[in-house]
Amino acid sequence: MKARVLWVENVKFLGESGSGHTVIMDGPPESGGENLGVRPMEMLLLGMGGCTAFDVVHILRKGRHDVRGCELQLEAERAETDPKVFTRIAIRYVVTGKGLTDAAVKRAVDLSAEKYCSASIMLGKTAEITHDYEIVEA
């Protein structure tokens, strides 16, 4: 996997993924930015959320469950001193579908957390990660 980050100006950077997608990263005005993009640590949190959401949807669909939506609500706390690593991350999955069972959703969340989501497993080396879920009938 490769990526490239190009400094644009001030504290604005353009990130380009190896697959050719780009994203703007920028800081707040008090850090010299213009608030025109996500912060790098926000990108890290979003990436982890995308990784585990992908797993949960994939596992449920592979099990032939009628999943129709998956929203993650993530909340993270960071250390107060440098390096300001994530120390706690709470993930709430809101999974929508027809006839989804508690056992199926719990299994998908657990498999992602314990086996498949490399991003959350990696971040779990410095942060306490909790998982919670809600099932919404479509």
* Domains defined along the chain, listed by start: 1-38 (2.20.25), 40-137 (3.30.300.20)
Token look-up 């992602």 returns 112
The whole model's pTM is what? Answer: 0.93
Provide the phi-psi class of 17: left if phi over 0, else alpha when psi is between -120 and 50, else beta: beta
Instruction: Say if CB 49 and CB 74 are below 8 A apart.
Output: yes
What integer pLDDT is reported at residue 65 of this predicted model?
A: 98
Residue ranges of the chain with per-residue pLDDT less than 70: none
Radius of gyration of the chain (CA): 17
Residue pair 16/7 in contact (Cβ under 8 Å)? The answer is no
The SS3 assignment for 21 reads: coil
Q: What is the dihedral of CA 88, 47, 120, 54, to 10 degrees?
A: 130
Residue 39 has a pLDDT of 96
User: Which residues 6+ apart lie within 8 Å of 42 measured at CB?
Assistant: none
Task: Report how far residue 15's alpha carbon sits from residue 18's, in angstroms, rounded to the nearest whole number.
Answer: 10
Please report the pLDDT score of residue 121 as a whole number. 97
- pLDDT for 73 equals 98
Give the C-alpha separation, 25 to 16, whole Å: 11
Among candidates 119, 4, 113, which has minimal Cα distance to 59?
113
| Per-residue pLDDT at 33 | 96
- Residue 138 pLDDT: 95
